[in-house]
Amino acid sequence: MTSPLLEIRDLNMHFPVKGGMFSRTKNYVKAVNGVNLTVNQGETLGIVGESGCGKSTLARTILGLLKPTSGDILFEGESILTYNHKQMHQLRRDIQMVFQDPFTSLNPRMKAGDIIAAPLKAYRITDHLERRVLELMDLVGLKADDYHKLPHQFSGGQRQRIGIARALALNPKLMVLDEPVSALDVSVQAQVINLLEDLQKELGLTYVFIAHDLSVIKHIADKVAVMYLGKVMEISDSESFYKDAQHPYTNALLSAIPLPDPEKEKVRQRIMLKGELPSPSNPPTGCVFHTRCPFATEACKKDVPVLKATDGDNRHLVSCFYPMNAENKQLVENK
């Protein structure tokens, strides 16, 4: 039986925008706007969306680094928003983060071994420290003589391995990976993703894997959520997601992925999005995606669609008045 490790309920994170003579709050950036998500023990939730759609803000609220405007975050069934200092201290062990940029997230003056040892020292777990660090280095595919090297002596992929070892040091239950391979070359991306998959199996980890590209998480995610302007547009288990994506935005993102088969690639049809991403401090009325949607109608400008199930067992949800099915996808392809 799978049980939820993390539940995000109706979460809002609105940053005040101040201005004018008295620095009054003029407006809010609705970075996260009514998000509901569940991540079960041992699974990987992939979160995808363009830059600025609220992915990192969501990650920071999960880690307890930001206090949300409203809503709730449950970890192992308990609201972390009511946690006291001691409980937060424990939570910071249980939930670890891997950052996008392996160049800026590692202290350039610290040796690799010391970077990996830092969380252990912070939690005063210092028995057999060096042995534990070497074990972690081995786990992520680094060599023992890498211990004394400085970050600049490593490649981007190796540096991300150091970041992963550091995140594993305290035996976390949940890892929040915020675009962990976006800064790496495509060939190295696959190696790091394979490593993360192996670690998940070996250690029983649960992942929230953030990416801005659907192809990155295709093989690792059990469930995929697509975000747009702080909202979840579509969420589904991976199989149904890649086979039967229904939101026009998801289909646009999928149609942007090059196909491995050169014959199919030649005739690949892209769903082109109109215009720029609107500002999250002034989101469009109705469906927030309507300004860029090739299928929007008058109704989409006025009414807000809710995320609702498209199948009987609640596994595939979409927030759209006109979800795409095989028939209208065909129309796009023939256009």
Ligand X SMILES: Nc1ncnc2c1ncn2[C@@H]1O[C@H](COP(=O)(O)OP(=O)(O)O)[C@@H](O)[C@H]1O
Contact residues: Mg ion, CB under 5 A: 55-56
Q: Which of 127, 124, 130 is nearest to 89 (CA)?
A: 124
Closest CB to ligand X among residues 56, 236:
56
Residue 57 binds which entry of ligand X, Mg ion, none, CB below 5-8 Å type-dependent: ligand X
Number of residues lying near ligand X (CB under 6 A): 12
Q: Which of residues 259-288 bind ligand X (CB under 6 A)?
A: 280
Residue 86: in which H helix or E strand, if any? helix 85-94
Task: Return the range that interacts with ligand X (CB under 6 A); candidates 51-59, 87-95, 168-176, 240-248.
Answer: 51-59
29 is a contact residue toward ligand X (CB under 6 A): yes
Q: Which of residues 204-223 bind ligand X (CB under 6 A)?
A: none
The residues near 231 (Cβ < 8 Å, ≥ 6 apart) are 33, 34, 35, 288, 319
Contact between residue 274 and residue 291 where contact means Cβ atoms under 8 Å apart: yes
Sign for the CA dihedral angle at 183, 187, 192, 196 comes to positive
Residue 52 binds which entry of ligand X, Mg ion, none, CB below 5-8 Å type-dependent: ligand X
Among 5, 8, 53, 181, interactor with ligand X by CB under 6 A:
53
Which of left, alpha, beta for 124 (phi over 0: left; psi -120 to 50: alpha)?
Answer: left
Angle between helices 129-139 and 156-168 (to 10 degrees): 130
Q: Which of 191, 187, 188, 257 is nearest to 220 (CA)?
A: 191
Closest CB to ligand X among residues 154, 228:
228
Residues 55-94 vs ligand X: string with x where CB under 6 A?
xxx-------------------------------------
- Least distance (Å) between residue 217 CB and Mg ion: 15
Query: What's the gap between Cα 173 and its chain centre?
Result: 16
Residues 146-185 vs ligand X: string with x where CB under 6 A?
----------------------------------------
Euclidean distance between CA atoms 212 and 194, whole angstroms = 18
The residues near 122 (Cβ < 8 Å, ≥ 6 apart) are none
- Least distance (Å) between residue 113 CB and ligand X: 31
- Least distance (Å) between residue 215 CB and ligand X: 17
Where do contacts with ligand X occur on this chain (CB under 6 A)? 15, 29, 31, 49, 51-57, 280
